[in-house]
């Protein structure tokens, strides 16, 4: 087995994370205690530690039947359950823990997990939206607040961050990740792991994080959830794994494998991913949980004959904990006794689980996280709400502002707030909302009403409903395609107003798990509404609330102002109003491109050049004949109420040695009238490689705050190791040759220089 050195740009920043995580999982004293415990455990008790059930409290999968619940409670008492997911609240978790600790022979505490993805009670923007802030401090803070709330409610472990790079907005789960780029994804992964886990897993405001979904899930064919994936080793290493590697280096305590196969091998049964790379090359000491039922799903995948067979494959491949397949608890002991599974594999898996339980302090006090008073206080914290508002406004991306319609004048006579999402207090909470209270978000209408003086008239019309029927995790959104009865009132409201704020997009449960779509345009009657409103009043500010990028079609040209506000969380309405009225100058940048057309997907700015990059006269080059190759809004893009100019970039040396580094500098000037924040981005292109290289790759970014007229020299240190990639030789290294170096405010509009690696 070779050792891959990941000495990319992250290495330096990771070195500054004191005490981060998984290193803290392993220490001689704990290992001794684990040895002692293992020596006392029966085989069945060991297997029990690898068994995870969902409680019936709040399910993120099929609810357990009454019979299954009884089995669970009986097994908990017997010490045959190591973990429960979806049990929440200080009281409920305490009761559940009591069952294990007061009844089982060895009193081993259980670990309670939940999908705490972008908040527990206080919702922050959905992860993709939050990543648009390009503010790693904000991501860390948001994860820490989520952890503080969840930990007070008795939880020990979140199934996040999700770090699947994806180039395909058809895939509904793109909303849960950090977008299309492995470098930004790695930075986001580290920030979130730091936020959830802090410096000390045993602290009462931290919980164990989980790097998921390992691996390749974001590359499901045709963007259809759970679908087949076939990735080359080079794409796996260069594109998919960097966030996971970074999370492992940052000390993430757990990993979750993924539902998909890669090249015919389901991840749950993939020893290359789990044993060779994760536990071998990266030396990961924590444990891997399967995804929900993914051990059992190796049967329909056609990779295992039975649940028993699947269980053997999974434990052998390095899946340590079985989430809801009920395969380990049913078969693993017998498989060991029959000599089909080596008991050392079970021991190793149990050791990994126990390490995390020790680090969380559960052996000192199994109830330490279940604290009713702390829970009450944490869940009602005004500071958490203030932070959610701050992160939400940093996440908003101004896509278009023709005619400078924004920022709006608070003294306008009449503002019409229109659209299916205008007064919606639920959609902004987004999918994967943990214990958010349904309908508890500040709506856009409320945000605008709170922002303007009483002399400004705010009129509201829904126009059309977006969805009808139930809105929850287990229900498919039913789109309204027939009820147009509200359109005339919306037109009337638009006509009466100085300016229209029109809120459209996606319902919370339109993106997320199992929410893949072939069409990512406006669903239902929204385009009809937009058209009717535009005919009544041209001064329209289109506010998009979405989990993913949409294709905007004709509206991109016809509407003067477009703002992407994502599903912005509990304080969404206030945050959007902050931006619309200019109290906050928008600074968000897209973490994933907005395509012009769904047929362009999958797409990334970091594509390969091909042998026929064009443009050429005629048809025989790599282009569509009916549309541009380019996205509507590229990766890294976002406007401000001011404008920024960039000088030509400078490199401190034209050549760089194999262990050297250069400084890349550019002078950024705020050329407008308002103070603003710019995300300055650094890209490179490796012109010739032993494997073909992308036309651009993000290698760094910095947020700078500039007063009107102010200039700042922004300098990046680019090390030779930042140019490394997984080469044809199967090594992580930089290859000598020429590189282009770009700086700019997005991945398209850049200025260029170059250097040579000796």
Any idea which residues carry the catalytic annotation? 291
Minimum CB distance to ligand NOJ smaller for 82 or for 447: 82
Instruction: Using CB under 6 A, pick the residue from 60, 274, 290, 642 that binds ligand NOJ.
Output: 60
HSE of 741, CA atoms in CB hemisphere, 13 A: 30
Query: Which residues inside 397-436 make contact with ligand NOJ, applying CB under 6 A?
Result: none
Shortest Å, Cβ 159 to ligand NOJ: 3
Which helix (H) or strand (E) element contains residue 527?
A: helix 526-536
Shortest Å, Cβ 315 to ligand NOJ: 20
Residue 612 CB-density burial (10 A; 0-12 exposed, 13-18 middle, 19+ buried): exposed
The residues that bridge with 732 in the sheet, in sequence order, are: 726
Minimum CB distance to ligand NOJ smaller for 48 or for 160: 160
Minimum CB distance to ligand NOJ smaller for 202 or for 514: 514
Which helix (H) or strand (E) element contains residue 10?
A: helix 10-15
Tokens of 267: 């991840």
C-alpha dist (Å) from residue 428 to 67, 436, 754 = 37, 11, 44
Instruction: Using CB under 6 A, pick the residue from 291, 375, 578, 686 that binds ligand NOJ.
Output: 291
Minimum CB distance to ligand NOJ smaller for 85 or for 757: 85
Minimum CB distance to ligand NOJ smaller for 214 or for 282: 214
Do residues 72 and 99 lie in contact, with contact meaning Cβ atoms separated by under 8 Å? no
Question: Which residues have a Cβ under 8 Å from the Cβ of 545 and sit 6 or more positions away?
Answer: 421, 424, 427, 428, 444, 503, 504, 505, 506, 565, 566, 567, 568, 572
The full length of the chain comes to 758
Do residues 46 and 278 lie in contact, with contact meaning Cβ atoms separated by under 8 Å? no
261 interacts with ligand NOJ by CB under 6 A: no
Minimum CB distance to ligand NOJ smaller for 547 or for 694: 547
Minimum CB distance to ligand NOJ smaller for 314 or for 750: 314
282 interacts with ligand NOJ by CB under 6 A: no
Shortest Å, Cβ 292 to ligand NOJ: 4
The H-assigned helical ranges of 307-443 are 307-317, 327-337, 343-359, 372-379, 382-395
Shortest Å, Cβ 85 to ligand NOJ: 6
Annotate 479-518 with b (16+ C-beta within 10 A) or e (fewer): bbeeeeebbeebbebbeebbbbbbbbbbbbbbbbbebbbe
Shortest Å, Cβ 473 to ligand NOJ: 9
Shortest Å, Cβ 162 to ligand NOJ: 7
Helix 382-395 / helix 136-152 crossing angle, nearest 10 deg: 150
Minimum CB distance to ligand NOJ smaller for 421 or for 434: 434
Instruction: Using CB under 6 A, pick the residue from 75, 97, 109, 115 that binds ligand NOJ.
Output: 115
6 interacts with ligand NOJ by CB under 6 A: no
61 interacts with ligand NOJ by CB under 6 A: yes
- Phi/psi region, residue 756 (left: phi>0; alpha: psi -120 to 50; beta: rest), is beta
Shortest Å, Cβ 61 to ligand NOJ: 6
319 interacts with ligand NOJ by CB under 6 A: no
Query: Which residues inside 85-104 make contact with ligand NOJ, applying CB under 6 A?
Result: 85
User: Number of residues in contact with ligand NOJ, rule: CB under 6 A?
Assistant: 9
212 interacts with ligand NOJ by CB under 6 A: yes
Q: Show the site string, 18-57: x = touches ligand NOJ by CB under 6 A, - = not.
A: ----------------------------------------
137 interacts with ligand NOJ by CB under 6 A: no
Instruction: Using CB under 6 A, pick the residue from 134, 167, 255, 292 that binds ligand NOJ.
Output: 292
297 interacts with ligand NOJ by CB under 6 A: no
Query: Which residues inside 462-521 make contact with ligand NOJ, applying CB under 6 A?
Result: 513
Minimum CB distance to ligand NOJ smaller for 59 or for 671: 59
Shortest Å, Cβ 77 to ligand NOJ: 24
Do residues 437 and 470 lie in contact, with contact meaning Cβ atoms separated by under 8 Å? no
CA 237 – CA 638 distance, rounded (Å): 29
Instruction: Using CB under 6 A, pick the residue from 53, 112, 159, 594 that binds ligand NOJ.
Output: 159
Which residue, 145, 251, 134, 149, is CA-closest to 194? 251
Annotate 13-26 with b (16+ C-beta within 10 A) or e (fewer): bbeebeebbbebbb
Do residues 448 and 573 lie in contact, with contact meaning Cβ atoms separated by under 8 Å? yes
R_g (Cα) of the chain, nearest Å? 26
Shortest Å, Cβ 513 to ligand NOJ: 6
- DSSP collapsed to 3 states, 302-327: CCCCCHHHHHHHHHHHCCCEEECCCH
By CB under 6 A, name the binding residues for ligand NOJ. Answer: 60-61, 85, 115, 159, 212, 291-292, 513
């Amino acid at each position: 087995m070779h050792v891959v050195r990941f000495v990319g740009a992250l290495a330096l920043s990771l070195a500054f994370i004191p005490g981060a995580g998984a290193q803290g999982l392993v220490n001689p004293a704990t290992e001794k205690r684990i040895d002692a415990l293992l020596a006392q455990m029966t085989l069945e008790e060991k297997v029990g530690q690898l068994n995870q059930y969902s409680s019936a409290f709040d399910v993120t999968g099929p609810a357990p039947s009454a019979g299954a619940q009884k089995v669970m409670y009986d097994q908990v008492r017997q010490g045959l359950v190591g973990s429960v997911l979806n049990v929440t609240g200080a009281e409920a978790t305490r009761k559940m823990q009591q069952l294990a600790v007061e009844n089982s022979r060895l009193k081993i505490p259980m670990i309670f997990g939940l999908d705490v993805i972008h908040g527990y009670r206080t919702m922050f923007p959905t992860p993709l939206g939050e990543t648009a802030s390009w503010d790693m401090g904000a991501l860390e803070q948001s994860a820490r607040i989520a952890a503080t709330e969840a930990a007070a409610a008795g939880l020990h472990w979140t199934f996040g961050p999700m770090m699947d790079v994806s180039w395909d907005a058809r895939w509904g789960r793109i909303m849960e990740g950090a977008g299309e780029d492995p470098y930004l994804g790695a930075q986001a992964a580290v920030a979130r792991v730091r936020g959830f886990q802090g410096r000390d897993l045993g602290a009462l405001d931290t919980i164990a994080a989980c790097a998921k979904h390992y691996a390749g899930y974001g590359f499901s064919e045709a963007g259809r959830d759970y679908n087949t994936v076939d990735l080359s080793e080079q794409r796996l290493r260069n594109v998919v794994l960097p966030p996971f590697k970074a999370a492992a280096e940052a000390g993430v305590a757990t990993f979750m494998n993924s539902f998909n196969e890669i090249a015919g091998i389901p991840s749950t049964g993939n020893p290359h991913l789990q044993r060779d790379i994760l536990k071998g090359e990266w030396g990961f000491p924590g444990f891997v949980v399967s995804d929900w039922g993914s051990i059992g799903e190796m049967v329909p995948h056609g990779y295992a004959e039975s649940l028993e067979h699947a269980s053997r494959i999974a434990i052998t491949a390095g899946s340590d904990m079985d989430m809801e397949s009920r395969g380990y608890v049913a078969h693993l002991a017998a498989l060991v006794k029959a000599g089909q599974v080596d008991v050392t594999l079970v021991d190793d898996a149990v050791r990994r689980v126990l390490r995390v339980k020790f680090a969380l302090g559960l052996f000192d006090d199994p109830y330490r996280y279940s604290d009713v008073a702390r829970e009450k206080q944490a869940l009602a914290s005004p500071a958490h709400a203030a932070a959610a508002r701050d992160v939400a406004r940093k996440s908003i991306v101004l896509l278009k502002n023709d005619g400078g319609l924004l920022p709006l004048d608070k003294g306008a006579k009449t503002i019409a707030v229109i659209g299916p999402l205008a007064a919606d207090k639920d959609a902004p909470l987004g999918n994967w909302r943990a214990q958010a209270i349904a309908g508890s978000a500040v709506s856009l209408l409320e945000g605008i009403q709170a922002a303007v003086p009483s002399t400004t008239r705010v009129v509201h019309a829904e126009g059309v409903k977006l969805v009808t029927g139930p809105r929850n995790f287990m229900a498919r959104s039913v789109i309204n395609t027939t009820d147009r009865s509200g359109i005339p009132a919306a037109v009337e409201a638009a006509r009466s107003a100085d300016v229209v704020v029109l809120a459209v997009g996606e319902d919370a449960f339109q993106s997320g798990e199992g929410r893949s779509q072939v069409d990512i345009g406006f669903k239902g009657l929204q385009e009809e509404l937009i058209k009717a409103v535009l005919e009544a009043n041209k001064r329209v500010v289109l506010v998009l609330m979405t989990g993913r990028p949409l294709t905007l079609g004709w509206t991109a040209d016809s509407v003067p102002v477009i703002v992407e506000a994502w599903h912005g969380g509990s304080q969404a309405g206030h945050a959007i109003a902050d931006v619309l009225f200019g109290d906050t100058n928008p600074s968000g940048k897209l973490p994933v491109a907005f395509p012009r057309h769904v047929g362009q997907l999958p797409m990334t700015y970091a594509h390969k050049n091909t042998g026929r990059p064009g443009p050429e006269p005629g048809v025989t080059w790599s282009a569509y004949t009916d549309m541009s190759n380019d996205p509507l809004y590229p990766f890294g893009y976002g406007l401000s109420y001011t404008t920024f100019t960039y000088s030509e970039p400078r490199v401190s040396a034209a050549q760089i040695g194999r262990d050297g580094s250069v400084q890349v500098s550019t002078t950024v000037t705020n050329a407008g009238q308002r103070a603003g924040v710019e995300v300055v981005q650094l890209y490179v292109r490796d012109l010739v490689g032993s494997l073909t290289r992308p036309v651009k790759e993000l290698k760094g970014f910095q947020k700078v705050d500039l007063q009107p007229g102010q200039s700042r020299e922004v300098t990046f240190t680019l090390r030779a190791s930042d140019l490394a990639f997984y080469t044809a030789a199967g090594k992580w290294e930089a290859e000598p040759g020429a590189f282009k170096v770009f700086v700019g405010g997005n991945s398209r509009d850049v200025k260029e220089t170059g250097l040579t690696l000796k």
